[in-house]
């Protein structure tokens, strides 16, 4: 029960952090890709536990929202960029530990 609470709290804080970043920068596919890559890098770099990993970084990144990118003309490219960018970001984080 305690771990579930910590994950929920972390996810709430991560979603707020993502909201604040999207309020500072224009809402675009590039902003979403950069946020997801930053979260992936942090996951690889710090390998956090439930609160920061599953919770905060899970709430911070938005892998469900990138499906909406598929609806425009270049959606498939943005999806591929997101997937490859996040994989490379995680690997970079892992290598810099």
pLDDT tens per residue across span 73-87: 778 888 889 999 999
Whether 9 has a pLDDT exceeding 80, the answer reads yes
- Structural domain for 84, as ranges: 2-95
What was the pLDDT predicted at 71?
Answer: 73
Cα–Cα separations (whole angstroms), residue 1 to 7, 15, 59:
10, 21, 19
How many domains would you assign to the chain? 1
pLDDT digits (tens, 9 = 90+) for 16-34: 999 999 899 887 888 889 9
Total-model pTM = 0.90
What was the pLDDT predicted at 79?
Answer: 86
Q: What is the mean pLDDT of residues 53-63?
A: 93
Q: What is the mean pLDDT of residues 58-68?
A: 82
């Amino acid at each position: 029960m305690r771990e579930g609470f910590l994950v929920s709290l972390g996810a709430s804080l991560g979603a707020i952090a993502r909201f604040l970043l999207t309020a500072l920068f224009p809402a675009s596919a590039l902003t979403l890709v950069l946020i997801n890559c930053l979260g992936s890098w942090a996951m690889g770099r710090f390998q956090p536990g439930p609160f920061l990993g599953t919770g905060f970084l899970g709430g911070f990144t938005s892998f469900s929202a990138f499906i909406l990118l598929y609806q425009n003309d270049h959606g498939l490219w943005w999806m591929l960029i997101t997937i490859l960018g996040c994989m490379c970001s995680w690997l970079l984080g892992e290598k810099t530990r």
